[in-house]
Amino acid sequence: MNLSRILVLGITTLLASTGLSTTARADEGMWLYSAPPRAQIKAKYGFDLTAVWLDHLMKSSVRFNSGGSGSFVSGDGLVITNHHVGADDLQKLSDETHNYIRDGFYAATPASEKKCVDLELNVLQSIEDITQRVNAAIPAGATGDAAALARRKITAEIEKESLDKTGLRSDVVTLYQGGAYHLYRFKKYTDIRLVFAPEGSTAFFGGDPDNFEYPRYDLDICLFRVYENDRPVQPQHFLRWSTAGAKEGELTFVSGHPGTTRRLLTVPELEYIRDSQFPLQLASLKRREVLLANWSARDTENARRAHDELFGIQNTRKARDGGLAALQDPHFFGTRVAAETAFKQKLAARADGADALAAFDRIAAAQKSVAAIAVRNRLLEGGTAFDADSFVLARRLLRHADEHPKPNGERLREFSDARRESFEQQLFSEKPIYPDLETVTLGDSLTALVEQLGAADPLVKTILAGKSPRTRAAELISSTQVRDVAFRKKLYAGDATVVANAKDPLIEIARAIDAEARALRRMVESADETKQQAQAVIGKARFALEGTSNYPDATFTLRLSYGPVQGYMEAGKNIPAYTTIGGLYERSLKQGNRDPFELPERWLKKRATLDLATPLNFVSTADIIGGNSGSPVVNTAGEFVGIIFDGNLASLSGDFGYEDVASRAVSVASAGILEALRKVYEAPALANELVTGRR
């Protein structure tokens, strides 16, 4: 399949997200709940997005803070997401005798629900535009470090003030690359318990070969229950389950938390991603994929321990390959260049366009400064040279001791008062950390450090201390105490002297790189501040030219997308909107029932009991991206008709633009979920809870 050809099929619609225009066309858009596309939807589909309808969907939607989306689907706190979103928690709950990712899990009684180790769920409660307050706090003429510090101070002040006033998690979110700032308030839940997960081979049927492909046949779901005060929460808002699901051509909506898009970036920023950032990331991903695949193949326990990380790497690698293919396509990239040129010509014709034109130049200069330090920044501040959970813990302990005495607004953002509870939950997590796996990953990343900076680099010499990367990694992992929660709590309660006196070797490695890592971070944040201020100027000019009917890039905050259930054409062949349970068996048989197309024994035994015509997966034109995994798909009645779990190959250009010719969002159908729960997993109580909304 020619991926580049697919990526440019809808190139005219991609103009909607370039410098020429950000006004959405077709079914494009990851829309703010505070600025939904009411007029577009009414004009095209005749449906009214009422405030009541939106509020209900907003407060039924859930963010998995570990990365992903979900939704409340019962009045007794039941939440549904993807198996691959819940895999992090399945991994942490598993051990050598219980492999929940591979074998699945079902809590037939409330007492058997398993409490997750460190999972945090967020439910959006309100959005407040604070742009004027944030910008007013930046001194006139301030740039670079001074402006970045001023913005960090006002951000910390607003978040702490909101937290103290409401008790809600409060995050200041940057929108339109700095054109606007909104305060998002979330209800936070931290007592989350596992209820159900299918086998990994069922959830990810087809494995990596079928990933980002369609047709698909996956039961990619995972169910949790949310507790407060040791009792299931009784949410006022949850989604009613549609037993029939959506029909082809029916309008549907996706409510989820898309992670990051880059549709408003300038050409120099896209050139940096194309020529440097993505190639560097891909080289690292492919290297780590080979490492973990080989280590996993040596032993079944190795495979269990590395499974979640390896899956994430493979998924990201394939997504990055698709995104890079889009940027490397001359037609696609040429369209971006032409669009930006046309927009600049419009600015040049206006008396007030000079400031915006100059802003483009400032962004280009700032991007050059970022590119100049990108490799060292990624290795040191980004931590890719020290790929081990133990190092993450060591750095957090070191930096907390340094940051805590500072005024709230002067700390690194992750150490602010408003983020303290979430920070502590992660720092004191009891999740299993495996020294053998840590030694392998740290040894390989230290090897990459030497390769990229050179063995003669003074910092490299300090880190290796005269040893080989693998030997040094084994020494550090075996001698550090940071995997001991009691040790972490002791150091966290102390000051910088206590941390220094611990003389923990991995903390001392973090200390050895800290001065340079912080300096690199300051340079990047200074450049980002320059770009944000410039984007604000460009955004103001764009609004003047085109109006304000547009959406910002994704920020892992709640967005609304929409589009009908609809098949597409590929290589002259009609691809139907739906696949069925019967198709699952046919796909497995055609592939010889071999891995990754092997069906679990229970599925083989239950085939005769199933309605093979039941829809299993379907596609729609909804505009999604990574982070939307687990997002509920609802009909105009607000009923749950499916759950997003993937996109097809053509959707991989979605980071940089939207098209609806071949790009599709892939979902598990509500009817297929019920059929599997009732007849394959013999979980009638759980299926009934979904249908009735009560346990």
Amino acid identity at 97: T
**For residues 83 and 197, is the Cβ–Cβ distance under 8 A?**
yes
**For residues 159 and 418, is the Cβ–Cβ distance under 8 A?**
yes
Phi and psi of 316, rounded to 5°?
-65, -40
Task: List the structure tokens of 266.
Answer: 């300038």
Non-local (6+) Cβ contacts of 550 within 8 A are 22, 23, 24
Task: Please give the residue that has the higher pLDDT: either 114 or 351.
Answer: 114
- Reported as a single tens digit per residue, the pLDDT across 489-525 is 999 999 999 999 999 999 999 999 999 999 999 999 9
Q: pTM of the entire structure?
A: 0.93
**Among 192, 187, 190, 168, residue whose Cα is nearest residue 78:** 192
β partners of residue 171:
184
pLDDT at 25: 56
User: Mean pLDDT throughout 217-235?
Assistant: 98
pLDDT > 90? residue 28: yes
pLDDT tier at 78 (50, 70, 90 boundaries)?
very high
d(CA 409, CA 415): 10
pLDDT at 529: 94
If phi > 0 it is left, if psi is from -120 to 50 it is alpha, else beta; for residue 129 that is beta
pLDDT at 530: 95
pLDDT tier at 673 (50, 70, 90 boundaries)?
very high
Task: List the structure tokens of 314.
Answer: 């493979």
Dihedral of CA 244/245/251/253: which sign?
positive
Task: Please give the residue that has the higher pLDDT: either 571 or 171.
Answer: 171
- Reported as a single tens digit per residue, the pLDDT across 238-250 is 999 999 999 999 9
- Reported as a single tens digit per residue, the pLDDT across 404-439 is 999 999 999 999 999 999 999 999 999 999 999 999
Non-local (6+) Cβ contacts of 484 within 8 A are none
User: Mean pLDDT throughout 520-534?
Assistant: 96
pLDDT > 70? residue 21: no
User: Mean pLDDT throughout 60-75?
Assistant: 97
Question: Percentage of the chain with pLDDT > 90?
Answer: 92
CA distances from 660 to 74, 252, 375, 650 (A): 33, 14, 36, 9
User: Mean pLDDT throughout 470-476?
Assistant: 98
pLDDT > 80? residue 325: yes
Phi and psi of 630, rounded to 5°?
90, -5
pLDDT > 80? residue 212: yes
Question: Percentage of the chain with pLDDT > 70?
Answer: 96
d(CA 134, CA 327): 34
**Among 125, 257, 348, 336, residue whose Cα is nearest residue 624:** 257
pLDDT tier at 83 (50, 70, 90 boundaries)?
very high
- Give 379: exposed, middle or buried? Use CB within 10 Å, 0-12, 13-18, 19+: buried
pLDDT > 90? residue 32: yes
pLDDT tier at 550 (50, 70, 90 boundaries)?
confident
pLDDT > 50? residue 139: yes
- Reported as a single tens digit per residue, the pLDDT across 340-383 is 999 999 999 998 899 999 999 999 999 999 999 999 999 999 99
Count CB neighbours of 415 within 10 A: 19
pLDDT > 90? residue 291: yes
pLDDT at 545: 84
Largest CA distance in the chain: 74
Domains of the chain by residue range: 16-120+190-263+552-692, 267-537
pLDDT at 351: 87
**For residues 84 and 203, is the Cβ–Cβ distance under 8 A?**
yes
Mean pLDDT lowest among 207-211, 431-435, 679-683:
207-211
Count CB neighbours of 249 within 10 A: 10
Task: List the structure tokens of 284.
Answer: 């690292």
- Reported as a single tens digit per residue, the pLDDT across 614-637 is 999 999 999 999 999 999 999 999
CATH of the domain spanning 16-120+190-263+552-692, picked from 3.60.21.10, 3.10.350.10, 2.40.10.120, 3.30.450.40:
2.40.10.120
pLDDT at 1: 33
d(CA 148, CA 114): 43
pLDDT > 60? residue 19: no
Mean pLDDT of the chain: 94
Count CB neighbours of 173 within 10 A: 17
Mean pLDDT lowest among 1-10, 143-152, 449-458:
1-10
- Reported as a single tens digit per residue, the pLDDT across 86-102 is 999 999 999 999 999 99
Q: What is 15-79 written as a DSSP string?
A: GGGBTTB-B--TT---EETTS--HHHHHHHH-----HHHHHHHHHHEEEETTS-EEEE-STT-EE
pLDDT at 189: 98
Non-local (6+) Cβ contacts of 31 within 8 A are 37, 551, 559, 560, 561
